Amino acid sequence: MRGTRALGRFFDRIPRRVASRRALGGTLALGVAVVVGPVAQAFIPMADRTLSEIAKVNRASKRNQALQLDLTMRVGGRDPIARGQLISHPSGLARLELKGFGGRVDRYLLSGRELLVAKDGRRLDQPQPLLQPFFFLQPSTSTTLRAALHAFDVLSDSIGLAPCGEEDCFVIGDPRLAAPLPPPEAITFEDGISADSVIVDPLDPNAASEIYELSARMDVEGESMDLEGALEGALEGPELGISEDALLPRLWVDTEDLQVRRIDRASGVFTIFGPIVSFDKVMVPAWFEVHEPDAEPVRFEIDRAVQVNAPPQAFSRKWVLAPVAPPAPSSAPSSAPSGADRPSGPPKR
């Protein structure tokens, strides 16, 4: 039991580097696991396989083509102030039109990292960052997902673990949260079983179907091994050169269902995504919130989601800067875009 307590103290000291709540008590859905005793498990997912599985979830969720989302906008939990329509394309294009109940129209265009915004047809030089890369939820291959992440300077080869609300998330893009896999020869148990006997890749169909658990039979105070020292040395890794308070662009993905839960930007803006719901087989978050430093969160509730055919001209600067006709006095706000740039409806089945 002394070995078990020592391991528990060790993992308590490195919660940001290796273990989160479920990682200490259960088996994650994805990753390579180093298991040392029944209470300590460090899970290290592999970048290429992880990105491939996320892309597979995007395909299964029917998000891998252009989507139209009808939105209701709230600020700080108050009553709705606008209706909106978001068109997002997996190639890295997105546009957002917001129609306020007072008749004003804001249009946002995101092409890669370039953001263009106009209010009533007039360009804004310092707009709110309300349009974030929703298209991170859409790539259908690991190659396109990695390209999208690289376009926003996300370090896609760095994957770690961290709590996200009541759940746990793989965090892509933050080397401070990643833990390198210790070499098998770094750990040897009393009975001669080495660590390579307890490393399993759950994504490998030829691997064992379950992760082995070994009882903590070692005596960390004896001469046979210094497990705490061996693990601590193996998990420290190289110097990262990144300060603890540096803001990095990151993608947070739930360890259970591999759905995107959060997007961080280097500016400090981050977007949180709600639980997944289905709109006629298209699976999207029920809502998402954009958090900007020193500002109230802006919440968009998704009222409808549908696949659309969105040609390149639908994401043009001309659409953003087009003059906006004043609404008729008796007309209610509408979330539908107007003109020739309107994306066509869902394909006929």
pLDDT digits (tens, 9 = 90+) for 271-283: 999 999 999 999 9
Q: Is 173 exposed, middle or buried (0-12, 13-18, 19+ CB in 10 A)?
A: buried
Shared domain for 268 and 194, answered yes or no, is no
- Per the domain annotation, does 265 fall within a domain? yes
- Least Cα distance to 93 among 110, 117, 114, 106 occurs for 110
Q: CATH code at 129?
A: 2.50.20
With respect to residue 160, please indicate whether it lies within any of the assigned structural domains. no
Using the 3D structure, point to which of 199, 218, 236 is the last residue of a domain: 236
If asked whether residues 98 and 9 sit together in one domain, one would say no
Provide the 3-class DSSP secondary structure of residue 22: helix
Q: How far is CA 177 from the centre of its chain?
A: 14
| Domain-embedded: residue 297 | yes
Euclidean distance between the first and final Cα of the chain, in Å?
63
- pLDDT tens per residue across span 23-37: 433 334 444 444 333
Q: What is the pLDDT of residues 61-118, one digit of tens each?
A: 999 999 999 999 999 989 999 999 999 999 999 999 999 988 899 999 999 899 999 9
DSSP line for 46-72: -HHHHHHHHHHHHHHTT-SS-EEEEEE
Give the residue numbers spanning the domain of 259.
Answer: 57-155+245-321
Q: Are residues 10 and 30 in the same domain?
A: yes
Say if residue 289 is in the same domain as residue 151. Answer: yes
Please state the pTM of the whole predicted model.
0.70
Please report how the helices 227-236 and 2-13 are oriented relative to each other, as an axis angle in degrees rounded to 10.
20
Looking at the fold, whether 191 and 265 belong to one and the same domain comes out as no
The reply to whether 132 and 259 lie within a common domain is yes
Asked whether residue 146 falls in the same domain as residue 71, the answer is yes
How confident is the model over 214-237, as a mean pLDDT?
Answer: 40
Query: Is residue 270 located within the same domain as residue 311?
Result: yes
Q: What total number of domains does the chain contain? A: 2
Residue 179: band (very low, low, confident or very high) from pLDDT cuts 50, 70, 90: low
Integer Cα distance of 339 and 342 in angstroms:
6
DSSP conformation letters of 285-340: ESEEEEE-TTS--EEEEEEEEEE-B--GGGG-HHHHHS--PPPPTTPPP-----ST
Domain assignment of residue 169, yes or no: no
Whether 167 is in a domain gets the answer: no
Same domain, 149 and 89: yes
